[in-house]
Amino acid sequence: MIQHIYDSHYNGAARAADMEVAWKTLKGHIDEERFKDVLGMLQYQAREAIVWRDTVCNWIYRLSGIADEKGRVGKNPAT
């Protein structure tokens, strides 16, 4: 179950980043103001998804002591 939490939060952050990449393919097909506004929101969402991912995963790791099978969690000594 804990591995599922790690995986789902990493997958969610990756999907947020993918939305930004996909949106960029629409440049020139959408008016510039709307393109920039949505891009800014997607970039913010992608950054916040990483913050949320790291916060939740590191909290679960500290609470459980169970390492991520993929070695992504618990690498920051400040956590």
Q: Does residue 50 lie in a domain region?
A: yes
- Rounded CA-CA distance 26/24 in Å is 5
Classify residue 56: in a domain, yes or no: yes
pLDDT of residue 74: 75
Query: Quick one: which of 72, 22, 75 has its CA closest to 45?
Result: 22
Q: Would you state the pLDDT for residue 75?
A: 67
pLDDT of residue 77: 45
Residue 78 lies in a domain: no
How many domains does one find in the chain? Answer: 1
C-alpha 19: how far from chain center: 11
pTM for the full predicted model = 0.83
With respect to residue 8, please indicate whether it lies within any of the assigned structural domains: yes
* Domain of 26, in residue numbers: 2-64
Q: Which run of H or of E encompasses 33? A: helix 32-64
Q: What is the full per-residue pLDDT of the chain (79 aa) written as tens digits?
A: 999 999 999 999 999 999 999 999 999 999 999 999 999 999 999 999 999 999 999 999 999 999 999 999 976 544 3
